Amino acid sequence: MTQSARMHADGLARCPWPGDDPLYLAYHDTEWGIPEYDDRALFEKLILDGFQAGLSWITILRKRDNFRRAFEDFNPETIARYDEKKVHALMDDAGIVRNRAKIEGAITSAKSYVTIMEQGPGFSALLWNFMDGRPKVNRFKTTATVPTSTPLSIKISKELTSRGFKFVGPTIVYAFMQATGMVNDHLVTCHCHETCGKQARKPRSAAQ
């Protein structure tokens, strides 16, 4: 369905997808589309996008704090050492999405991340090199014109897959690119379109 930005009670026009959910609106306004360059934060988002496959993002967003607790703040070095006992514990954790393939995929992806960090070029550098270090600013007017994947997301997907990452298909990668500000896909009439690329993400402490 074609949708354009909608006006909210606070007088701001926003992309239609958050609806009126306060948690989703906060995510839209303060996270989605703001460029992320931190290695660990990028890893966390990619893993969560993998868990989203087949589900809605709001489902993952509502469980995100549980995921962060269960996966020990998404420290890749720690996750890479998870064993079968830990997999069983995660499968028993009702606070997260209990999907064995996705859990084991996160562990495999963590091992691939560690290799990239140890041998180069670094996870953030690997991803942002595809963008020449700068976000691509799109100017979509309706949701119907926003793609679900692009030639570039296909290219990044192939690169990540070749390095051992799991659940990194072109559609998942494009959602990841949108969320981490590699592309600015806020609709042109959304109040975030002009500002998100100028913002810097605040580092998140383990307690957040």
Residue 25 lies in a domain: no
Q: Can you give the pLDDT at residue 206?
A: 46
Q: Is 191 annotated as a binding residue?
A: no
Q: Is 15 annotated as a binding residue?
A: yes
Average pLDDT, the chain: 95
Q: What is the pLDDT of residues 17-70, one digit of tens each?
A: 999 999 999 999 999 999 999 999 999 999 999 999 999 999 999 999 999 999
Instruction: Decide which of 2 and 83 is more confident.
Output: 83
Residue 118 lies in a domain: yes
Residue 87 lies in a domain: yes
**Taking a C-beta distance cutoff of 8 angstroms, is the pair 131, 178 a contact?**
no
Over residues 72-77, mean pLDDT: 98
pLDDT of 146 > 50? The answer is yes
Q: What share of the chain is helix, strand, coil (3-state, %, to 5)?
A: 50, 5, 45
Range of the domain at 137: 6-19+35-198
Residue 44 lies in a domain: yes
DSSP summary character for residue 163: T
Q: Can you give the pLDDT at residue 103?
A: 98
Q: Can you give the pLDDT at residue 73?
A: 98
Beta strands in the chain (DSSP E): 6-7, 13-14, 136-137, 183-184
pLDDT confidence tier of residue 2, bands split at 50, 70 and 90: confident
Q: Rounded distance, CA 70 to CA 185, Å?
A: 31
Q: Is 8 annotated as a binding residue?
A: no
Please tell me the total count of domains within the chain.
1
Q: Can you give the pLDDT at residue 208?
A: 45
CATH of residue 118: 1.10.340.30
pLDDT of 203 > 80? The answer is no
Q: Is 196 annotated as a binding residue?
A: no
**Taking a C-beta distance cutoff of 8 angstroms, is the pair 137, 184 a contact?**
yes
Q: Sign of torsion, CA 137 138 141 143?
A: negative
Q: What is the pLDDT of residues 147-194, one digit of tens each?
A: 999 999 999 999 999 999 999 999 999 999 999 999 999 999 999 999
Global confidence as pTM: 0.95
